[in-house]
């Protein structure tokens, strides 16, 4: 299991390799992707609920 100090070292290496700007942009894109995924799940649930209501 990775402890706190190992995470700090990994983060420092990532920042050195990619730079602060690139890492923040990657985080932003990851956040947008997660948001879109959750929205898609909600829309799928809404469509299922609508089709269940129409079938009754």
**2-47 residue pLDDT tens:** 889 999 999 999 889 888 888 889 899 999 999 999 999 999 887 7
Residue 50 tokens read as 């609508």
Say how far residue 42 (Cα) sits from the centre of its chain.
15
23, 14 Cβ separation under 8 angstroms: yes
What's the CA gap between 11 and 25, in Å, rounded? Answer: 15
Residue 55 tokens read as 């079938």
Q: Does the pTM exceed 0.85?
A: no
What's the confidence (pLDDT) of residue 56?
58
């Amino acid at each position: 299991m990775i402890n706190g100090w190992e995470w700090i070292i990994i983060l420092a290496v990532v920042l050195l390799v990619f730079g602060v700007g690139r890492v923040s942009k990657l985080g932003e894109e990851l956040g947008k992707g997660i948001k879109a995924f959750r929205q898609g799940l909600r829309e799928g649930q809404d469509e299922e609920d609508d089709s269940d209501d129409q079938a009754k």
